[in-house]
């Protein structure tokens, strides 16, 4: 996906990027490749693939959930890695207040440098486990939207993310072709944690046609205080 194709397909989502925003994506790409030589951020480094499989893929969430610039939205990205999907969303929607949680400090260091280079404001980074972060009273049920991409299966991911979503908010999981299958195995977890399925969106990325699934879960009631469980337990013993 070249720059022109990137713009064209985003226009279909009613996302029209300014020259400044396009330059931010260019800087993002250059820093991603540069830092990838020092720490393992991504296996995808070809420019056309980064634009399609990282930048555009992250922004597909905006086709199925409104990140309206008329309001301030508090978004938490769990296990963001190299910043996906939250940094592309922040570039496209500067109104977002973004919090990123990742368990690897080297990735957090990269994201700090990236946010500074891109002149992003209202972006906060935490080197922490999702289980610990979600039990902190300051973070718990305080976000309008919680996102996660390529982190864990839905049954586990729901325990990482739903405790952070405030009642009335949403958990958005960006998944591949197995999204529906994962969702079927996670129904008990979602209900237990206070969530309710809003919608499952299945589509293919342009150009290379790989399958994607976006799952939107509404938070309809408070998460029981015992969740998330201690670090490592959700992965070993999914709900």
Q: Which residues does the annotation place in the binding site for S-adenosyl-L-methionine?
A: 79, 84, 130-131, 149
**Ramachandran angles phi, psi of 13, nearest 5°:** -95, 5
Quick one: which of 126, 128, 92 has its CA closest to 111?
Answer: 126
149-to-5, 138, 178 alpha-carbon distances in Å: 23, 24, 13
**How many angstroms from the chain centroid is the CA of residue 231?**
20
Cis peptide before 73 (omega within 30 of 0): no
Contact criterion met (CB below 8 Å) for 133 and 227: no
Annotated binding site: which residue ranges? Answer: 79, 84, 130-131, 149
């Amino acid at each position: 996906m070249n720059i022109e194709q990137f713009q064209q397909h985003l226009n279909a989502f009613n996302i029209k990027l300014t020259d400044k925003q396009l330059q931010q994506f260019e800087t993002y790409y250059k820093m991603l490749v540069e830092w990838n030589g020092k720490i393992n951020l991504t296996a995808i480094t070809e420019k056309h693939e980064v634009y399609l499989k990282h930048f555009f893929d992250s922004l597909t969430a905006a086709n199925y959930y409104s990140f309206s610039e008329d309001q301030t939205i508090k978004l938490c990205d769990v296990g963001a890695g190299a910043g996906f999907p939250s940094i592309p969303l922040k570039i496209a929607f500067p109104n977002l207040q973004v919090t990123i949680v990742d368990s690897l400090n080297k990735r957090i260091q990269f994201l700090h440098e990236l946010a500074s280079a891109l002149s992003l404001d209202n972006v906060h980074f935490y080197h922490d486990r999702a289980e610990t972060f979600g039990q902190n009273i300051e973070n718990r049920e305080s976000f309008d939207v919680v996102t996660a991409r390529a982190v864990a299966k839905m049954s586990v991911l729901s325990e990482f993310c739903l405790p952070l979503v405030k009642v009335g908010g949403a958990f958005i999981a960006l998944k591949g072709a197995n999204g529906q299958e994962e969702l079927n195995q996670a129904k008990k977890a979602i209900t237990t944690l206070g969530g309710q399925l809003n919608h499952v969106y299945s589509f293919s990325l342009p150009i290379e046609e790989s399958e994607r699934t976006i799952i939107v879960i509404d938070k309809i009631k408070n998460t029981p205080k015992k969740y998330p469980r201690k670090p490592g337990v959700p992965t070993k013993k999914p709900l």
